[in-house]
Structure 1
Amino acid sequence: MGWSWPCLKERLQCPKDEDANYENTTWCNRDLIPIPPDRRTYGVWSYFGYWTVSGSCISAWSTGSTLLAFGLSPQQAIAVVVVGGILAGLLAVACGWMGENHYIGFTVSSRFSWGMRGSYFPVILRSFVSCMWFGMQAFWGGQATRVMIGAVIPGKAIVLDSDGRPFSDIHVEGFAHMPNYFAASSHLQTKDFIGLVIWMCAFIPGLLIRPEKLQLPFVICFTFFCGSCFGLLIWSVSQAHGPGSMFQKPASAPNVGWAFMFGITAILGSWGSGTLGQSDWTRYAKRRFAPTLSQLIASPLTIAATATIGIIVTSASRDIMGGEIEWNPIYLLADIQDFYGSSPGVRAGVFFASIGMVFSQFSISVVLNSVSCGMDLAGLWPKYINIRRGGYIMACIGIAVQPWQLLSTAEKFLSVLSGFGVFMAPATGIMLADYHIVRRYKLKLGDLYLGDSSSIYWFADGVNWRAFIAFLSGMWPLLPGMVATVNSYSGAQWTGWIRLYNLTFLVGLAMSFFVFWVLCHFFPPTGLGEEAAFAHEEVLYGVSKPARSDKCEFTVQEGEKEVAVANVV
């Protein structure tokens, strides 16, 4: 009896499949290899489900606040959302192509652009952003849970004047108006903390669901959120007898053209990190082009519909209840319950609408955070971290940063975090230029898992200097505008930089794309045009894949000819 350190290390390694054609190494594990056929479970409707939860979420609902802040009218904001959604769909198709055809995700694909060691940079960058955003998404999920419980245990609000008659001093009881037992410096309400704990207890088991099995949860989450959206829409329009006065607000931007472009960039920036990691999901496709239709149709449709409902409900609810504009539907539900005095019928409506918000936070945390971040963290230590373990690490970090402090006190930090498109856009441009233009879809997949000079993706000491130069070229012109925006600088000397920063995603992507392409034209990397499969799973671009056997023959499309390729295992 007893154990040894080598034995413990072996037990802690990530589990492998039976009859695995890979080993857990510094560069490889089950979640990083090209997805084998038995795990490709996503069809056309599965990807529609993916985009419904990605496009129909609280972030899309609140998009109107950003667009109206640019000085657009509500009608112009809706047009921006439609155009931006279409461009986001096209970008998702381009970014997801390598997953759809080579079954690898962003973590592995970044190796052929940045080098085996250089790939750690974009992976760490995306992991950091994912952890921060998860913390805030989880906190909003906790608040939605708090509102849901508050609808069941509302308490009473008694308003009394100095003579004992209802007027001013508020005495509260119950969960909806629970007194705060935390210090004011914590910027955390007791009821929000309880809601967060309950939400996390429900979310953590969800990480046990493998990505290829998430189709049904997608449908459930979307159904509940849709019910919440249309319920709020029906209530607000019927009570306000229309979309509200704010919906008739004219454009106030001095230059509508610039504002329109800023709005499109805001849409692309909001979904930029998601499109950058599209291959994390398209690698589960049953067949080629399965994700394409949903990316081109469901993306603009869901984003535009959710944002439009958000604008109408926010406008109408302001006319109904008065007060300030409330863009967050979670806070709006709490205000509705208080406005109607916690009557039983209203509490029932708030309860069911809150369920939709809770489920929405579940789904968006999985789609845009846990799976992609889990795979990124797996890429940093594949022997011991897979997607599931990476998701647990992300959850711990996301809560450890105390998102309630960030949301309450660190406006500059939030501005910086929102400005991370400055870094994501150049990374997207490099990936698109390398895969589509420089390499023309030809990958030597086995070399993406070799950590030495025998790999064509080793470059110079594991780093592709071209990618870093292109990244800096796409990033530096945007930094002055980011600094000016974060610090609220004004003046003519900052106007041009701020305008350029407001076009972050378009400018950063285009500049890094062009610079990387030019560098590779004059200094071509080794291995261009080389193509090879990973182990015995043929995932060459354009290959017809028969059933597995000890000896298989594949047909590879080369121009108008089909060339037979024998593969012996």
Structure 2
Amino acid sequence: MPAERRTYAIWSYFIYWCISGLCISAYTTGSTLLAYGLTAQQAIGALFIGSLCTGILSVSCGWMGERHHIGFTVASRFSWGLRGSYFPILIRSFTTIFWDGLQAYWGGQAMTVTIGAVVPGFAHMTQTLAGGVLKTKDFIGMIIYYLFFVSIMRIPPENLQKPFIVSSILFGGTLIGLLAWAVSSTDSAGPLFRQAGDPANGSIGWAMMFGITAILGSWGGGTLGQSDWTRYAKRPFAPTLSQLFAAPFCIIVCATIGIIVTSCAEQVVGELVWEPFELLGKLQNYYNDSPRGTFFAGLGCVCAQLGISIVLNSVSAGMDLAYVPSFPHRYLNIRRGAYLLACLGLASNPWQYLSNASTFLTVLSGFGVFLAPFTGVMLADYLVVRRCVLKLEDCYIGGSHSIYWYYHGFHWRAAVAWVLGVFPTMPGFIMTVRNPFAYNSWVRTFHIAFFVGLADSFVAFWLICKISPPPGIGIGLSYHDESMWCNTAEDSRGQDSEQAHEGEKKSQHGVTVSAMTA
């Protein structure tokens, strides 16, 4: 990343985590935790632990971006080989398609509420599509949402701070407004805080661990690709404080407000409604004479969805898709990759897989089965095996003259460690998909999939490299080298920076820099 494009300061990353933590996904996390049989108080405890782990993982995975100014696509090359790096990138892109479809569908429903506050006839449309699964008004809202999304995607990532500020303020206002309404309407935190827990299979400990794993699974893809954003850092440690403190704080606050508002709303409207836009739709009918409040609250939800889609889905996936070989590859750059992701997200029919909530939640949380071992391999390779020493120019060179070429462009050590990380949790994942009520030792292992997958792959990769050291260890520059930092951060005259700059320029113009060009 060239020096002139490093525009993110400490406050920028704080806003970044306001977007990532203050979102509808975090708001609805409480529903998942309570579904495991936890009490509201126990759910908040699980939130605290899970969000702290998310912050620590963000620091670890973002370190190479902060110090070497490379993104996830380049980081995958030194761990997996120039050709092998396509595997983790394709897996992450595949999972992102479903997440983007989900976020866009929620954004469309939030847009429906916003428009319905101004046009009451639109809010009361009853026509349906897709065999009655999809409401016509929600589909229209989703198309309008995508128009705003495509417009914002034209802004380069280094210039997104101001839109992020607007999104954070609007959704923050929505949260404050909902919390004030809920508490003032019931004069309490609602009935959920007075109900006894009913943990799955009678074990509070396993229910807590499953809840913590679900939180890590939700933010696992974002932590794995942290270097996509930390490479924009102006100076060292710019992202660190936000990752350690702002990330847990925002996730905990947003999810706790979601639990309180849902608890109070049950007492007011008579049913549990976890999605804030659905609650706003019901409040439009409950308070027919006051649509302005739901308009601004719905607008905040729309902005939150736009922000989270850009931060965790579109930009990162656009970088990934621009890197994957395509024909003709010169027509696919980061922005067009993000547009392609939006099309695939719509084509995934999110209203269909959301109609079967139990299977959907299991499969989506099960993506952690695959992502956690990727995280373990990357952290073990960068932090322990290579001790943060990289030869950056060889990440942009295809052929046997690159120390990261390994065997025909594939690194067998990473593949073996990844398989060893996936194997213990895969049987329980399959059993849970086939029978949501299955419960045995394999299922319990799946319930802590993120911890098991990350730890197994980390240790396996380290031991394999101890027995059979990969080539190139100790060759290159460490982030401790002051001259490397000066060259990359101030005048971009170092060889590593020149290679990185050339790779970024080619990526921006749609030219894939990869081992396949050798």
**TM-score normalised over the length of structure 2:** 0.91
The alignment status of 1:408 with 2:352, answered yes or no, reads: no
2:441 aligned partner: 496
Q: Cα offset for 1:543?
A: 3.3
The alignment status of 1:242 with 2:242, answered yes or no, reads: no
Instruction: Name the SS of the counterpart of 1:528 in structure 2.
Output: coil
AA of the residue aligned to 1:403: P
8 A Cα contact 1:218 1:363, kept in partner: yes
Instruction: Name the SS of the counterpart of 1:477 in structure 2.
Output: coil
Greater helix fraction, Structure 1 or Structure 2: 2
1:112 aligned partner: 78
Provide the identity percentage. Answer: 54
Out of 363, 369, 372, the residue aligned to residue 316 of structure 2 is 372
AA of the residue aligned to 1:520: C
Q: Cα offset for 1:88?
A: 0.7
Out of 332, 356, 361, the residue aligned to residue 305 of structure 2 is 361
The alignment status of 1:473 with 2:428, answered yes or no, reads: no
Q: Residue deviations 1:237-268, cap 9 Å, x none?
A: 10111111112223322322222222221211
Q: Cα offset for 1:269?
A: 1.2
The alignment status of 1:267 with 2:215, answered yes or no, reads: yes
1:92 aligned partner: 58
Between the two proteins, the alignment pairs up a number of residues equal to 489
Q: Cα offset for 1:334?
A: 0.5
8 A Cα contact 1:144 1:358, kept in partner: yes
| Cα distance in structure 2, aligned partners of 1:129 and 1:551 | 36
Describe the shift of the 1:515–1:545 C-alpha distance in structure 2 as closer, same or farther (beyond 3 A).
same
| Cα distance in structure 2, aligned partners of 1:539 and 1:447 | 19
The alignment status of 1:79 with 2:45, answered yes or no, reads: yes
Query: What does residue range 411-426 of structure 1 map to in structure 2 within 5 Å?
Result: 412=359, 415-426=362-373
Out of 468, 484, 504, the residue aligned to residue 543 of structure 1 is 484
Instruction: Name the SS of the counterpart of 1:271 in structure 2.
Output: helix
The alignment status of 1:131 with 2:97, answered yes or no, reads: yes
Describe the shift of the 1:517–1:313 C-alpha distance in structure 2 as closer, same or farther (beyond 3 A).
same
Query: What does residue range 173-212 of structure 1 map to in structure 2 within 5 Å?
Result: 174-180=121-127, 182=129, 185=131, 187-212=133-158
Q: Cα offset for 1:404?
A: 1.7
Q: Cα offset for 1:385?
A: 2.4
Describe the shift of the 1:532–1:300 C-alpha distance in structure 2 as closer, same or farther (beyond 3 A).
closer
Q: Cα offset for 1:499?
A: 1.1
1:13 aligned partner: none
AA of the residue aligned to 1:330: F
Describe the shift of the 1:436–1:98 C-alpha distance in structure 2 as closer, same or farther (beyond 3 A).
same
1:521 aligned partner: 466
The alignment status of 1:482 with 2:426, answered yes or no, reads: no
Out of 303, 313, 326, the residue aligned to residue 251 of structure 2 is 303
| Cα distance in structure 2, aligned partners of 1:96 and 1:411 | 33
AA of the residue aligned to 1:441: C
| Cα distance in structure 1, aligned partners of 2:436 and 2:45 | 30
Q: Cα offset for 1:66?
A: 1.3
1:505 aligned partner: 450
| Cα distance in structure 1, aligned partners of 2:491 and 2:33 | 52
Instruction: Name the SS of the counterpart of 1:208 in structure 2.
Output: coil
> Which one is further off, 501-510 or 60-69?
60-69
| Cα distance in structure 2, aligned partners of 1:383 and 1:456 | 27
1:322 aligned partner: 270
Q: Residue deviations 1:434-474, cap 9 Å, x none?
A: 00000111111111111111111110011001111111101
The alignment status of 1:148 with 2:114, answered yes or no, reads: yes
| Cα distance in structure 2, aligned partners of 1:413 and 1:265 | 16
AA of the residue aligned to 2:367: F
AA of the residue aligned to 2:247: S
2:242 aligned partner: 294
| Cα distance in structure 2, aligned partners of 1:151 and 1:237 | 23
2:336 aligned partner: 389
| Cα distance in structure 2, aligned partners of 1:318 and 1:358 | 24
| Cα distance in structure 2, aligned partners of 1:489 and 1:57 | 27
8 A Cα contact 1:40 1:285, kept in partner: yes
| Cα distance in structure 2, aligned partners of 1:327 and 1:480 | 31
The alignment status of 1:284 with 2:227, answered yes or no, reads: no
2:501 aligned partner: none
8 A Cα contact 1:531 1:540, kept in partner: no
| Cα distance in structure 1, aligned partners of 2:76 and 2:482 | 18
Describe the shift of the 1:245–1:122 C-alpha distance in structure 2 as closer, same or farther (beyond 3 A).
same
| Cα distance in structure 2, aligned partners of 1:459 and 1:541 | 29
When the two chains are superposed, the root-mean-square deviation of aligned CA atoms in Å is 2.0
AA of the residue aligned to 1:303: I
Describe the shift of the 1:224–1:416 C-alpha distance in structure 2 as closer, same or farther (beyond 3 A).
same
8 A Cα contact 1:470 1:512, kept in partner: yes
Describe the shift of the 1:237–1:447 C-alpha distance in structure 2 as closer, same or farther (beyond 3 A).
same
1:252 aligned partner: 198
1:446 aligned partner: 393
1:3 aligned partner: none
Unaligned runs of 5+ in 1: 1-34, 155-173, 555-569
| Cα distance in structure 1, aligned partners of 2:454 and 2:61 | 12
8 A Cα contact 1:378 1:385, kept in partner: yes
| Cα distance in structure 2, aligned partners of 1:526 and 1:216 | 44
8 A Cα contact 1:269 1:421, kept in partner: yes
Out of 378, 383, 393, the residue aligned to residue 431 of structure 1 is 378
| Cα distance in structure 1, aligned partners of 2:128 and 2:172 | 35
8 A Cα contact 1:107 1:375, kept in partner: yes
1:28 aligned partner: none
Q: Cα offset for 1:549?
A: 8.4
**Which has the greater radius of gyration?**
1
| Cα distance in structure 1, aligned partners of 2:232 and 2:42 | 37
Instruction: Name the SS of the counterpart of 2:124 in structure 1.
Output: coil
The alignment status of 1:38 with 2:4, answered yes or no, reads: yes
Q: Residue deviations 1:165-212, cap 9 Å, x none?
A: xxxxxxxxx111113163x52622111111111111111011111111
AA of the residue aligned to 1:399: L
8 A Cα contact 2:477 2:484, kept in partner: no
> Which one is further off, 240-249 or 524-533?
524-533
AA of the residue aligned to 1:548: D
The alignment status of 1:350 with 2:297, answered yes or no, reads: no
AA of the residue aligned to 1:398: G
Q: Cα offset for 1:59?
A: 0.7
Instruction: Name the SS of the counterpart of 2:440 in structure 1.
Output: helix
